[in-house]
Amino acid sequence: MKFMNKLMGAVLGSAMVLGAMALPTTAVARDALVTPKLVIQVSDSDPAYWNLALNNAKNVQKDLKGAVIEIVAYGPGIGMLKADSVVANRISEMADSGIKMVACGNTMRGQKLVKEDMNASINYVQAGVVEIMDRQADGYSYIRP
């Protein structure tokens, strides 16, 4: 009987190890034919938050070659995309590297901002929240740092 218990223990233990090896790791397996896409929400007025969002975008761009990245700023976060923003140089550099920066038209109207107030490197949409929803419907991953 002891022999059978040891044998069953060995068999079950081996099965568990093999099963664990088959589980996915923390890295997400991606289809090489699918372009990774990310939309990042910025709706906070804190420049530290802006830098966090920009760092997230830059890291994804570096780690996932060819990723499509869009940052959508609305509400208090619209300040990030102003021409006189403390991160204005980073916005321009990142736009030049292919990261799309988008300002919410509703927020701009509400804050009486015009395109001349904004960084020359950015794009505009009518509604930032709707833009995020549309991107998610298009298969973009979503983060709000």
pLDDT tens for 95-124 read 999 999 999 999 999 999 999 999 999 999
pLDDT at 33: 77
Check pLDDT > 60 for residue 21. no
Instruction: Give the pLDDT confidence score for residue 90 in this predicted structure.
Output: 97
* CATH number, domain containing residue 63: 3.40.1260.10
Q: What is the pLDDT of residues 57-67, one digit of tens each?
A: 999 999 999 99
User: Which structural domain range is residue 88 located in?
Assistant: 34-143
Residue 133 lies in a domain: yes
Q: How far apart are CA 108 and CA 106, in angstroms?
A: 5
pLDDT tens readout for residues 34-78:
899 999 999 999 999 999 999 999 999 999 999 999 999 999 999
- Measured between alpha carbons, how far is 88 from 113 in angstroms, rounded to an integer? 16
